[in-house]
Structure 1
Amino acid sequence: MNAKLDRRKKYTRMVLKESLINLLKEKQISSITVKELCELADINRSTFYSHYADPYDLLTKIEEEILVDMYQTLSSYNFNKEDEALQMTEKILEYVADNRNVCQTLLSEHGDPQFQHKVMKVTYDFTMKNWMEIHNADEKVSEYLSLYVISGSLHVLKNWLDNGMDKTPREMAELIHSFTSYGLGAIK
């Protein structure tokens, strides 16, 4: 009996998440109602409220799952310091490609801007932090440099998604790494 109930809960949560992601492609979270979520997911309102307080709660849970999953996935890799930034960038891009629908929607103009900041923090932890330590960068300069690199990279990533991922994650990682390492000198 419990297995059946657990499957039903998982299914309900899955269809609600998919419904919210589909609605976020069209409009802001502030415009999404529980009623339309339930209609799209084909569930009743009491079922929705047994899982989530409101659409914002559902969005928060989706974001938390993505961030935890991203962190766990990236933590499973162990690269040497020299290759770390390029390889971690590639792994981040592979993760985004594997979760394209959700990531593209959450990073769009209808997504939560705080989610972008959280993704930037994960990216910093896995790419920039070690680089800054290796190069003994000044703390204030490190803050500005990492903000510049990561925010620019995030916009490149969003554009890559919007362009249908026209390059492989490896090719994009090499481009980002080249831009980060050589700036305008990377242009050939």
Structure 2
Amino acid sequence: MPNSIDRRKKYTRMVLKDSLIQLLKEKPISSITVKELCELADVNRSTFYAHYYNQFDLLDKIEEETIEDMKGYMNKFKYEKKEDVPHIMENLLGYFSSNRDVCQTLLNETETTFQSKATVVAHQFFLKNWTYMNDQEEDLTEYLSTYVINGAIHVVKAWLANGMDKSPGEMAKILNHFINKGLER
């Protein structure tokens, strides 16, 4: 019996999350009601409130789960040389590709904190793993990581919006070129 309850809870949370992501493609979170979310998910409001306080709480949980998933994915890898950078980018782009719907929606939603949370995670990962940069001045590394991460996030957003018209490997090469050579040909 406990397994069926766990499966029902998981299923309910999944359909609510999927429904919110679907609605976020059409309008901002502030325009979404619990009533329309429940109708789309085909669950009653009391079931919704058994899991979440409101639509903002649900969005926050989706963001937190995605960030934790991204952290776990990124922590599988350790990169210490400059030559490893394209691999980390390709792996991270692979993560975004396999989670395109959620990532694209969260990155495009103006009322979420997902982009800033993702920036913090990427920044921490950058400083922890790109040890070849440790010979740089500390404040230079801070500015460089901020520049690289924010630029890369906007490139990823454009890539997702363009239907991932290039493979993660091709995009990793493009980003690596931007980082290392800027506008140089």
TM range (shorter): over 0.9
| Conserved? CA contact 1:132–1:142, under 8 Å | no
**Structure 2 length as normaliser, TM-score?**
0.93
The corresponding residue for 1:124 is 123
Q: CA RMSD in A?
A: 1.6
**Structure 1 length as normaliser, TM-score?**
0.92
The corresponding residue for 1:102 is 102
Deviation at 1:120, TM superposition (A): 1.3
The corresponding residue for 1:146 is 145
**Structure 2 letter corresponding to 1:27:** K
Q: Percent identity?
A: 54
The corresponding residue for 1:38 is 38
The corresponding residue for 2:160 is 161
| Conserved? CA contact 1:27–1:110, under 8 Å | no
Structure 2 spans left out of the alignment, 5+ residues: none
| Conserved? CA contact 2:80–2:131, under 8 Å | no
Tell me the SS of whatever aligns to 1:184: coil
1:14 maps to 2:37: no
The corresponding residue for 2:53 is 53
The corresponding residue for 1:180 is 179
Distance across 1 between alignment mates of 2:60 and 2:28: 14
Of the structure 1 ranges 32-41 and 145-154, higher mean CA displacement relative to structure 2 is found in 145-154
Q: Can you list the C-alpha shifts for 1:99-123, whole angstroms capped at 9, x where unaligned?
A: 00000000004451x2101111222
| Conserved? CA contact 2:19–2:41, under 8 Å | yes
| Conserved? CA contact 1:85–1:128, under 8 Å | no
**Structure 2 letter corresponding to 1:18:** D
Deviation at 1:126, TM superposition (A): 3.0
- Count of aligned pairs between the two proteins: 185
